[in-house]
Structures are given as C-alpha cells and as structure tokens.
Amino acid sequence: MNEPVQTGHEVIQNYLKTLDGSPGVYRMLNAASEVLYVGKARNLKARVSNYARPSGHSGRIARMISETVSMMFLTTRTETEALLLEQNLIKQLKPRYNVLLRDDKSFPNILISREHAFPQLKKHRGKRTEKGSYFGPFASAGAVNRTLNQLQKVFLLRNCTDAMFESRTRPCLQYQIKRCAAPCTGRIDAAGYATLVADAERFLQGKTTTVQSNLAAEMGAASAAMEFERAAALRDRIKALTQVQQSQGINPAGVPEADVIALHLEGGQACVQVFFIRANQSWGNRDFYPRTGAGADEAEILEAFVAQFYDDKEPPRLILLSHGVENEDLLTDLLSERAGRKVEIAIPQRGEKAELVENAVRNARESLARKMSESSTQNKLLAGLAEAFDLDGAPTRIEVYDNAHIQGADAVGGMIVAGAEGFLKSQYRKFNIKSDAGKNSDDFGMMREVMTRRFERLLKEDPDRKSDAWPDLLLIDGGAGQVSAVGGILAELGVDDIAMIGVAKGIDRDAGKEEFYRQGMPVMALQRNDPVLYFIQRLRDEAHRWANGAHRAKRAKAVSATPLDDIPGVGAVRKRALLAHFGSAKAVSRAGVSDLMAVPGVSEAMAKAISDFFSTKG
C-alpha cells in the first residue's frame, strides 16, 4: 500500500537544514513535478523558513505551500544575479503562482539610416544593428507611421530603399506630392540634404522650437525675395510640424526621458499601462494584462512586470511607477547593468511627474474595466458555443484553420487562436505548404499537411498536455470532406478527443446561412440573429484575413526574389550592394570578376564565387 505523498510546510521544513544564507533562486514543485512557483532570495535559508511556518500566510501562498511536495535550489554570486535568473526561469517555465507578462512584443522605432550618403528615414523594429540614429520606442506601428507621415512633409527625407535610390532617373511621386527633396536625381545637394537630416534629428531630440524658428526665418526670407512658391512650401512644412506636435498629446516640460508604468488591480485581474516619454514628447502608450499569479499584490506584480518587460528592451534613464516594488535596489541594479548606465526608479508624490503617473493610472483603470466587460461578453459567447454544439464545456482555446493560394501558387496555411480573452495574436501561426498539395491546388492535401505538422509538434513538445497550447475546439474552413480528412489525420496521430466543427458557406454562399459539420452527426445551422453565429463568422473571417495576409507576403517575397538569393555567402547586404551597383540581377550575371570586385563588400573570392555560380547556370 502506497503511503500518501507528504506536502506542505513540513516538506519545506526538511530543506532548511541543507540551506545557508547565500542568495539564490528556489522552485516549488507539486506531485506531478510541475513547477508551481519560482522565487529569488537575498538569503535562501531565511526566505524558505517563512514558508515552513504552519500559519500566517495569505490565501494564495497557503494554497501554493499545500501543493508543494519538493523544492529545487540554485545559489548565485549576487542578489542581482538571483533576480535575473528568477525572471528567466519564470518566462521559461510559466509557473502557475508567478506573475507573468504574457504580451512581450518589441516596439517600433524611427531610424535615420547612415548606411548611405543620403540617409533614409524609416520605421525599424528589432535589434539596432543598422548604422544610424534611432528614436523611440513608439507604442505602436500606427504611432510611428503617423509620425513618419508628418516628418516626411516637414523634412522631405527619402523613404525609398538604397537600390531604388540608385536606379532613379527622374523624381518619384513622393517628390511630386512634396514629401521628398529628391536627392536621387540631384534636386538637392548633399549639404542641403544634410541640413534637412540635422533638422529632423533636432526635432526628434525635442528641440522643436529651434527647427520651427529656422523654418519661419526661411519662409520670411523667401517671401521678402518674392519667392512665393518656396515660401508657400515652407509654410506647409511649418503647418505639418505643428500637427506633429499636437498629435503627440502630453508633452511634459520637466521630463525629457522616462517610461511611466502604472498598475490597476481589481478582482484578481491587473492592467499595466506604459507611457513612453522621449525628448519631452509622449510617443504613445500600451496596455498589458499580466497573469497575476493567483492573487499577487501590487508590489510583486510591478516588480515582475518591470523585470520581464525590460528583458529585451533598453530601459530609459528614469522609470516612474505608480506603486513601490519589493526589491527596488536590486531592480535598479539589474536595469542599470542591462542599459550600461544609471537607471533611476521613482514613485513620485507631487508635481508634473505625479500627474503623469495619475494619468497612466486612470488609463489603466479604464482599460481594465473595458477588458473585464469584453471578457464577460466573450465568456457568454463561449458558453453559448458549447451549448449550441453540445460540447463538454466552454472551450478555453479555439484554433481556426484556413488555406490561401492562387491556383496553387505561394500556398500558405493559417492558424488563429481565440479564447476567453479574445484573439490571442501572439499564438497565431502560418505554415508554408511544402508538399505537392499546394502546387496541385489540393485543399484537402494542404489541410492534411498543416494539421499533421501542427499536432506532430504538439505531441513532441507536450505529449502529456500539461501546457495550455492544446486546443479543445478546432474550427475548419470547409464542409464534410475537410472535417473527414482532418478527423482521419488526428485519428492517425492518436488525438481523438478534440472537438471539431467544419464551417461551410450555405445556400448561395451567403453569410448568415453557414452550415456546420461534425463527425458522425447531421449537418446543422444556426438562426441568422444568433450571437454565436456572428461569433463563429468573426473567427472564420479572422482566419481568412490571417491566411490571406501570409499568402500576400509570400507572393511579394517571391516577386522580389532574384538568382542572387541562391548564391552562398550573398546575404541581404551584399544583394542590395550588387543590385545598386549593376541595376539588375541579369547585369550581375554578365559581370566579370574585376567588375564584381568594384562593389563594396565583395572580395576577390566572393566575386569568383558569384561568377562561377552564373557560369554553371549556363
């Protein structure tokens, strides 16, 4: 007879005799060896002894202790190392009782590229590997695009690629609509263009008054010289500059650079608002809804959020918080180390900084209220879906699949995910069709490939279904044939317990007359005014949009592909340089070794490799 597994504070008490006062990280595990919680400690023995007490814990901590059957420990040299290791393990293991930042996308920047004599103004996302001046982060691509749109009107900097710049023989439409100075065709010289670049950088650094006064002086001089067309153009640039300033909303005079991070916690749910202040200008805000670890308090949530948020982002010089955090000194040291300079964390109580935080808190409160309202509606729809199709319960993860191609060309499969929190866009996936099914316009074959790849990977990565990556409902774009095909694939893989619904257009392919197919059950339809029908239509339309977008991107990439893509050692930079120098891939194929060596970055060995590649192609 098996003895019951010992759990709780007695188990934790047994570990104390093996611990000392070193800093480090501990993990608490349940009977299934799942990590319940990852924590850090300045003094491991002192911290773990707190869990060994039989009482005096919050409800959340008491539940966690009661489920604990074992612990793991890692000592570190410093407390800062412990904090860093803790956050890395949390992101990797996603323990149930830890606070977890679930939306961790990168933020776009504006880049004035210095790879060319006439710098390009463009949006940039990701690592800062390209030479140039970066300004950001901006809260969204929309915020960057709006600012770029106005900056082009004001500073007339080019946004074309270097290859396009080199190939121009006459100004493009951007010049005609007064959004570019056309340096490509000599309409402005290098010195004049450099002045525009310097003005743009001054503006993005917050020195707007200098730029505006310079433009006003130029307009006055042009008017006095009766150059009325030039004066009118300068007037339009001043007007565009004013619109940029107005669109940026909050422009704090006393805060040149900061991230304002505010938390609102209600009913166990949290919303964190982040406002980006750069060059005394607001560059937008973004809201986040971290998982709260089954009831963590404000201090723990904010500390975890800040540590995880700046894991792959450069922190600003000042971070303004709405609440204090548990280990402010450790967090400051960690962020300063990541930034390579001093980073300050402050919780302002008065003045302009406090007003910025209050504004962020208000936005967090309002955003969470909207989110909770939407979640309530979403939960009703999920419950309605379960009732309409006789599911075991309201689905927590729905995966919707669709294919997109044009007569078999550039075939792509798309998968979107939805749940109680709406569309989970970070979970979306696209599948480039590799089999002949794409070329043959075989929709069944394409769906077979997509489903096989998806579920073979799931079975390999999580055979015991411990994660939340497994769906409990599949929506397939198609009728009885698609449902039968997918059912057969899942049966072959031994996955036969996931509900599946095929969604097919009904009579006259009219939206509202959809028919629904399930294995071994008669076809059915829903009333035209049923909210569940509208919900399914939204899911299907989102899958269609996602698959079509992936298909268009693949088609565009194929259009821009050249034989240079197949030459070993010729990457994106060399490809651009070759095309800029010769004008086309065909001209590159005809060039001799000495001509190829004239291109920057092409050595004699590389020139011979390129020449040999084309000679073997005949």
Architecture of domain 563-616: Orthogonal Bundle (1.10)
- Please state, for a pLDDT cut of 70, what percent of the chain lies above it: 90
The pLDDT value recorded for residue 568 is: 81
Q: Where in the chain is the domain with CATH 1.10.150.20?
A: 563-616
What CATH code would you report for 9-97?
Answer: 3.40.1440.10
pLDDT in tens, 4-25: 567 788 899 999 989 999 999 9
Q: What are phi and psi of 30, to 5 degrees?
A: -95, -170
Residue type, position 139, single letter: A
CATH architecture, domain 397-538: 2-Layer Sandwich (3.30)
pLDDT in tens, 308-361: 999 888 899 999 999 999 899 999 999 999 899 999 999 999 999 999 999 999
Q: CA-CA distance, 138 to 249, in Å (whole number)?
A: 13
Q: pLDDT (tens digit, 9 = 90+) per residue, 493-540?
A: 888 889 999 998 766 555 667 899 998 899 999 988 889 999 999 999
Question: Minimum mean pLDDT among 104-113, 217-226, 236-245: which range?
Answer: 236-245
Distances (CA, A) of 70 to 28, 34, 85, 181, 248: 6, 10, 20, 68, 52
Tell me the CA distances in angstroms from 129 to 30, 124, 573, one per residue in order: 44, 10, 12
**Is 171:156 a contact under the CB 8 Å cutoff?**
no
Residue 515 in contact with residue 479, Cβ under 8 Å? yes
- Cα separation, 398 vs 499, in Å, equals 10
pLDDT tens-place string over residues 54-67? 888 888 899 999 99
3-state secondary structure of 617: coil
Q: Could you tell me if 195 and 214 are in contact, meaning their C-beta atoms sit under 8 angstroms apart? A: no
Which one, of 472, 261, 488, lies nearest residue 382 by Cα?
472
CATH 3.30.420.340 in the chain is located at 257-369, 397-538
Contacts of 244 (CB under 8 A, 6+ apart): 147, 150, 151, 154, 203
The confidence band for 1, taking pLDDT boundaries of 50, 70 and 90, is very low
pLDDT at 294: 76
Nearest Cα residue to 149 out of 125, 178, 126, 113 = 178
CATH number, domain 257-369: 3.30.420.340
